[in-house]
Amino acid sequence: MSKTTTGTPADETPVTGTPDGETPVTGPPDGGIPEDDLGAAGSQLSTAPSETAVPGSFGGNRAPGAAGWLAWTGREVLGWARWFWRQLTSMRVALLLLFLLSLGAVPGSLIPQTNTNAMKVDAFRQAHKTLAPLYDKLGLFHVYSSVWFSAIYILLFVSLIGCIVPRTWQFTGQLRSRPPGAPKRLTRLPAYATWRTGAAPEEVREAALRVLKDRRFRAHTEGDAVAAEKGYLREAGNLAFHIALIVMLVAFAWGQLYKTEGNKLVVEGDGFSNTLTQYDDFKSGSLFNDDNLVPFSFNLDKFTATYERNGPNKGTARTFQAAVDYSVGADGKERRTTIKVNEPLEIGDAKVYLVSHGYAPTVTVRDGKGDVVLHQAVPMLPIDSNETSQGAIKVLDGYRDARGKSEQLGFSAFFVPTFAGAGKGTMFSQFPALDFPVLAVSGYHGDLGVDAGVPQNVYQLDTKDNPNLKQFKDAKGEIVKQRLLPGETMTLPNGAGSITFDKDIKEWAGFQIVQQPGTDWALAGALAAIAGLAGSLFIQRRRVWVRAVAGADGVTVVEVAGLGRSESAKLPEEIGDIAALVHDKAPAQTDADPDREPDDETYASAEGAEKK
């Protein structure tokens, strides 16, 4: 587009664009104009640290002798240290470290971790004799506490801080300073408009100042032009994004160092107190101690689960909730609440999640004399979605057989809440609700091995490697086993006693108690990072100048130009809007020769008119 001629009618607005015959020179960072042509006007549109090429020698010429060598070595070390710091705090390296951090987290999600599930790690070691030693050397069984992951984490942390501090200092200086004055030749800028008006230059500048301030520009008059700047939130968003990343890194580190996570299976009627001895399994951060646990306790009053009876979602849980009574502290008042899936009980920094469910059939075991040696609800662990469950019933003390010999009893149990029926050929449950409960048991006697000092699963019997444990058999040598309905009893051979499947079938709930500080800070950091990134992407930093000077013929020449950090279609539109508003205050003069095109001489005289 061409410049507006001096003969533009009063009702026409100036046209924005690049003047005829003048093509902007391409070059970073200010929209394609070399900084040498713009001076201070094109500088500091960004606070990004400048990239430094790989240097040669920092020491320069070395003087002879030991003193010269020491001085040269000091300059070399200092120079390389400064160069390394500039590289570490550059955006390129920060992005690279962020990528390496995300890449390093991949093995932690694919390979079993010692601090999460030690049993799976042991199983992996046994199954992969070749890979396991290699993974041990690389620290892949404890990724998040490994040396290499910690090094990436710390370097990223240092890189972000080293990047933020100088940029914040520089940005603060820019906020305190005023927009720079107009460059000598506004025609070189990518967005440009001009016209001639009969208004005095001072009136045009005053009108331009009001227009720019009304559009929320920081503006002031300097020399023969009004200088204005807008879009500082772009760099503020950039800094907010980096600060938010630091907040997230600190929050994650804090959470990992002080976190606790444990699981507890609670049968209806039983309770839990938040102490280490009460957990079924427990893991924590390296800086955790017992005093960090939030003091509370709760009792499971009732568990409720309902299921879809028909349709394609048959068997899917509709209701899954646990009614509990809880208290905080040693003398806290008891309160009642309901814990649901994804609706945990929150007590201070601790959250109690409902994570699993199953059945605990009540059994009564009698010895050879008919005395009750065990009467309790025994939790069974489900193995499918229909709550087919298995478990172990163990009598450790108080049992004596018909001859008075002291032994231990064990029963391998298999429980189905909805039995398919005799002769159906399956012992798997047909539905998760208690429609037709059946308990299948087979008994063992002898030494269960619990006193050997070797850890043992409470839900399983160790029958493979225990020669002191024998299975009950009848007179024909067949294994004694039976399917029991509620209220039925299986009698053990040779007067060894009996086991009864009582009609009282309880349910149990599995709870996960998590205490991880810093999650609120991590969430706030994530939201701030998103907001800051949006600001840095969608807000454009730009500068606008309106110059008004008297030409050689006494007519005021008005020039409006803008410069952004990068080329954008919105900048010419904005310059056009500003030029139109200023044009309304200082309309184009119509009594000049309409055929006369403003040439370079005209602009040269306009630029230097007030200087004369």
Per-residue pLDDT at 375 exceeds 60: yes
What's the CA gap between 612 and 610, in Å, rounded?
A: 5
Backbone angles phi, psi at 18, to 5 degrees: -85, 130
Contact 491, 480 (CB under 8 A): no
Per-residue pLDDT at 43 exceeds 90: no
pLDDT value of residue 601: 41
What average pLDDT does the segment 153-160 reach?
A: 89
What's the CA gap between 90 and 48, in Å, rounded?
A: 8
Q: Which residue has the higher pLDDT, 9 or 520?
A: 520
| Tokens of residue 229, six digits | 């700047």
End-to-end CA distance of the chain: 31
pLDDT tens per residue, range 288-337: 888 889 999 999 999 999 999 998 889 898 999 999 999 998 788 999 99
- Residues shown for the chain: 612
Q: Angle at CA 549, nearest 5°, toward 574 and 24? A: 50
Q: Which residue has the higher pLDDT, 594 or 80?
A: 80
Per-residue pLDDT at 50 exceeds 60: no
What's the CA gap between 160 and 150, in Å, rounded?
A: 15
pLDDT tens per residue, range 193-209: 999 999 999 999 999 99
Give the alpha-carbon dihedral of 198, 203, 205, 211, to 10 degrees.
-100
Kind plus residue range of the DSSP H or E element containing 390: strand 389-395
Per-residue pLDDT at 610 exceeds 50: no
What average pLDDT does the segment 182-198 reach?
A: 92
Q: Which residue has the higher pLDDT, 99 or 14?
A: 99
pLDDT value of residue 591: 56
pLDDT value of residue 256: 81
Per-residue pLDDT at 24 exceeds 70: no
List % helix, strand, coil for the chain (3-state, nearest 5): 35, 30, 40
Tell me the Ramachandran region of residue 231: left when phi exceeds 0, alpha when psi lies from -120 to 50, beta otherwise: left
Per-residue pLDDT at 6 exceeds 90: no
Q: How confident is the model at residue 227 (pLDDT cuts 50, 70, 90)?
A: very high
**Which amino acid type is present at position 599?**
D
pLDDT value of residue 38: 65
pLDDT tens per residue, range 80-139: 888 888 888 887 888 899 899 889 889 988 998 887 777 788 889 989 999 999 999 999
Q: Which residue has the tokens 């039976």?
A: 482
pLDDT value of residue 57: 65
SS (H, E, C) 184-197: CCHHHCCEEEEEEE
Per-residue pLDDT at 376 exceeds 90: yes
Per-residue pLDDT at 223 exceeds 80: yes
Strands (E), 274-371: 281-284, 296-307, 317-328, 335-340, 345-347, 350-366
pLDDT value of residue 549: 95
pLDDT tens per residue, range 434-454: 999 999 999 999 888 877 666
Q: Judge if the upstream peptide bond of residue 112 is cis by omega within 30 degrees of 0.
A: no
Q: How confident is the model at residue 417 (pLDDT cuts 50, 70, 90)?
A: very high
pLDDT value of residue 600: 46
What average pLDDT does the segment 525-539 reach?
A: 90
pTM, 2 dp:
0.66
pLDDT tens per residue, range 244-284: 988 998 898 888 888 888 999 999 999 999 999 999 988 88
Per-residue pLDDT at 21 exceeds 70: no
Q: Which residue has the tokens 């028909």?
A: 310
Quick one: what percent of the chain has pLDDT higher than 70?
85
pLDDT value of residue 15: 47
pLDDT value of residue 44: 58
Report which of 298, 296, 279, 295 is spatially closest to residue 337, judged by C-alpha positions: 298
- Helices 65-88 and 147-176: crossing angle in degrees, nearest 10, is 90
Q: Angle at CA 423, nearest 5°, toward 422 and 424? A: 95
Per-residue pLDDT at 507 exceeds 70: yes
pLDDT value of residue 284: 84
Report which of 578, 608, 610 is spatially closest to residue 227, judged by C-alpha positions: 578
Q: Which residue has the higher pLDDT, 13 or 174?
A: 174
What's the CA gap between 579 and 559, in Å, rounded?
A: 9
pLDDT value of residue 582: 95
Q: Which DSSP state fits 522?
A: H
Q: Which residue has the higher pLDDT, 76 or 562?
A: 562
What average pLDDT does the segment 573-601 reach?
A: 75
pLDDT tens per residue, range 455-503: 677 888 887 777 788 899 988 888 999 999 999 999 999 889 999 999 9
Cβ neighbours of residue 539 closer than 8 Å, sequence gap 6 or more: 231, 233, 234, 237
pLDDT value of residue 298: 96
Q: Which of 34-43, 45-54, 64-73, 518-527 has the lowest mean pLDDT?
A: 45-54
